[in-house]
């Protein structure tokens, strides 16, 4: 069972290793588990202490949608379960293939549509955390201010509890904090991709969670001899070392590894108990 905790948004007490639901759908590419396995994974994650699940309405392919799987597996939801979702340039999962000028999810009407779609598909009256995902369009034509103000208004309506931002630059992070209270930042970060080191430290000082997507490499798994060395020393897997390194990096980091395998789920969550030594961390660089 995962035991390390963080107060997401200051009031949502979550286990630091969560679960990312994208792989349950095979979106945007790749294999996916069958429906029974997907439901079993979600239920087992909660049994093991996971209470932070990351999803989106647009995580959907060929009729398989992450939100609907979550609802079928877990509704009525445990009182302490936190479901974080996201909205952005994509409205539907298939929009990924559209040219940038045709991705319209950041307009006021489509942001509301995205929020309402998440509410309906998850079967809730209020969303725990909504991340505004940026970076999918030309940043000079899609500033963060207007869409974040739209989400702030929806928060004031009672449809959203906490706001986060995703796939953002440090400049956008600074801008966002002037507009709305920010509970979390969700960016690409892992042992091999450390560009956000300064941003993580800034978030930690402000009490803001940093949620790294692709924490073990995503579609390009982290491969390094030094990882193999540390994993062999502890008799664990390379992904477990990568997750343990993230947990050791900063207390505000909340990894959300996704998997379509029950065995890998168990391994990922067990990584919270893996304590890396100073020598291990030095070995990993």
What domains are there in the chain, each with its CATH number?
A: 5-214+251-259 (3.20.20.100)
How do strand 5-8 and strand 12-15 relate by DSSP bridges?
Answer: antiparallel
- Please name the residues in contact with 232: beta carbons below 8 A apart, sequence gap of 6 or more: none
Backbone angles phi, psi at 64, to 5 degrees: -105, 115
pLDDT in tens, 118-164: 999 999 999 999 999 998 877 667 789 999 999 999 999 999 999 99
> Could you list the mean pLDDT of each consecutive 10-residue stretch along the chain, which spans 285 residues?
84 98 95 98 98 98 97 98 97 93 95 98 98 85 91 98 97 97 97 96 98 90 86 96 97 98 97 96 92
Q: Can 59 be counted among the known catalytic residues?
A: yes
The answer to whether 272 and 3 are in contact (CB under 8 A) is yes
The pTM score is: 0.96
Question: What's the pLDDT at 58?
Answer: 97
As a whole number, the mean pLDDT across the chain is 95
The answer to whether 222 and 190 are in contact (CB under 8 A) is yes
**Of the residues 19, 58, 59, 77, which is catalytic?**
59
pLDDT in tens, 217-228: 987 788 778 899
The answer to whether 46 and 83 are in contact (CB under 8 A) is no
């Amino acid at each position: 069972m995962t035991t390390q905790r963080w107060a997401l948004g200051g009031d949502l007490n979550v286990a630091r290793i969560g679960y990312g639901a994208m792989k349950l759908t095979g979106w945007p590419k790749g294999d996916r588990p069958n429906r029974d396995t997907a439901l079993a994974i979600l239920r087992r994650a909660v049994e093991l202490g996971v209470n932070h699940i990351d999803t989106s309405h647009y995580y959907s392919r060929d009729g398989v949608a992450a939100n609907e799987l979550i609802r079928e597996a877990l509704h009525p939801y445990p009182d302490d379960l936190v479901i974080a979702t996201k909205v952005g340039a994509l409205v539907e999962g298939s929009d990924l293939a559209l040219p940038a000028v045709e991705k319209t999810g950041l307009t006021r009407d489509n942001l509301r549509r995205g929020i309402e779609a998440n509410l309906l598909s998850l079967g809730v009256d209020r969303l725990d955390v909504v991340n505004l995902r940026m970076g999918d369009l030309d940043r000079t034509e899609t500033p963060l201010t207007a869409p974040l103000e739209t989400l702030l208004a929806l928060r004031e309506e009672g449809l959203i509890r906490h706001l986060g931002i995703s796939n953002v630059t440090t400049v956008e992070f600074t801008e966002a904090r002037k507009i709305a209270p920010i509970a979390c930042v969700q960016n690409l970060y892992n042992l091999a991709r450390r560009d956000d080191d300064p941003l993580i430290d800034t978030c930690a000082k402000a009490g803001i969670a940093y949620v790294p997507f692709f924490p073990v490499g995503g579609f390009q798994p982290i491969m390094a001899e030094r990882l193999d060395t540390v994993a062999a020393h502890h008799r664990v897997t390379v992904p477990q070392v990568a997750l343990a390194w993230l947990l050791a990096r900063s207390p505000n980091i909340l990894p959300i590894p996704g998997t379509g395998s029950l065995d890998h789920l168990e391994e990922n969550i067990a990584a919270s108990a893996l304590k890396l030594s100073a020598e291990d961390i030095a070995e990993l660089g």
